[in-house]
Amino acid sequence: MRASAKINSYLEVLARREDGYHEIRTVFHEIDLCDTIRFTLTENKRIKFFTNVKSLQNRENLVCRISRFIQKTFSVQAGAAIDLHKSIPVAAGLGGGSSDAATTIRALSELWSLHLSDEQMHDIAAEFGSDINFFLVGGRAAGFGRGERIEPLADSGIENIVLANPGFGVSSAEAYSAVERYDGSDAWDKYLASGDVRLAHNALQAGVCRRFPAIQALLNDIAEAGARPLLSGSGPTVIGFCPDAETATALCGRFARRGMWSIVTRARGRGETSEVM
């Protein structure tokens, strides 16, 4: 199975909630960049987990925790061997961990013949994180609450998206703690109506850039190249919405020559296959 990354083309922070999370509204896009996960049915109840990223090779990562939760909740007598190959950078604002979690929910429902309903899968997702619910829907969608309430939107068809990562992590808690004022304007409605990436917005961007000037420097580079710059989620990955393939290729190459992780990608449609051929 493929576990796609995501970007947020719009993110407003509306208020701090009593549960410690923030009330947001956002627009998610599933993109072509993905991890791949192989699930193999086993006769004993053990959950075996393998990955190419050493820091995730433990029983407390999200994939293992969700697997054990499903197994216990539905009294599953079988087990699974799970092999995760990471291509999405860790702690990058691209939702890799949440996507791996959503893929695990869907895959184990099939592997263990549970036939979970959409509602059951979304209930499981909401127990473990805010972005997981989006990846059960995919494509383009609006997110509300802490991001777990999802409303599908028409696919965007955005091409020529450059992503670049400076090589360090920014935690979600750190990004949200840097928010100095809350959003709330008609810009949300204008963006939903037009889908124009020139109106893209991330309320976390200013605070993150104050703490990490290197991210602001990358955003400046993107703007100078003629693309629309934006922080991806809580960062540190930055997005360049490029006007054409030539600009995207040149910008990606510019970052790569600095030894920085960068790719050119596109938004995926909701109906595209989740299987890796």
Tokens representing 53? 């990223």
Say yes or no: 189 and 137 in one domain: no
| Residue 207 and residue 97 share a domain | no
Residues 147 and 83 in one domain: yes
Name residue, tokens 């509204």: 25
* Domain boundary residue, one of 131, 153, 175: 153
Structure tokens at 142: 């609006």
User: Does residue 15 sit in the same domain as residue 112?
Assistant: yes
Q: Which residues of the chain register pLDDT less than 70?
A: 184-185, 273-277
Q: Do the domain assignments include residue 38?
A: yes
Residues 95, 208: one domain?
A: no
Residues 116 and 166 in one domain: no
What's the pLDDT at 273? 63
Given 153, 185, 203, the domain boundary residue is 153
In a domain, 133, yes or no: yes
Asked whether residue 182 is domain-assigned, the answer is yes
The residues assigned a catalytic role are: 6, 131
Q: How many domains is the chain built from?
A: 2
Q: Report if residue 275 sits inside a domain.
A: no
112 plus 199 within the same structural domain:
no
Shared-domain flag, residues 13 and 118: yes
Among 195, 159, 169, CA closest to 31:
159
Mark whether 183 and 149 lie in a shared domain: no
Asked if residue 109 and residue 32 are part of one domain, the reply reads yes
63 within domain boundaries: yes
Instruction: Kindly report the CATH number assigned to the domain that includes residue 178.
Output: 3.30.70.890
What is the residue range of 24's domain?
Answer: 2-153
Residue 234 lies in a domain: yes
Specify if 277 maps to a domain. Answer: no
Give the pLDDT of residue 184.
Answer: 63
| Model pLDDT, residue 46 | 95
Helices (H), the chain: 62-73, 96-111, 118-128, 132-137, 172-177, 187-194, 205-211, 213-224, 245-256
Any idea what the CATH number is for the domain that residue 119 is in? 3.30.230.10
Residue 180 and residue 48 in one domain: no
Same domain for 59 and 185, yes or no, is no
- Give 244's DSSP letter: S
Pairing of strands 149-153, 161-165: unpaired
DSSP 45: S
CA-CA distance, 139 to 64, in Å (whole number)? 25
Domain's final residue, options 153, 182, 212: 153
What pLDDT is recorded for position 82? 98
The verdict on residue 34 lying in a domain is yes
Identify the pLDDT of residue 148.
Answer: 84
Predicted structure pTM score: 0.91
d(CA 219, CA 229): 5
* The pLDDT of residue 235: 82
Cβ contact 35:69 at 8 Å:
no
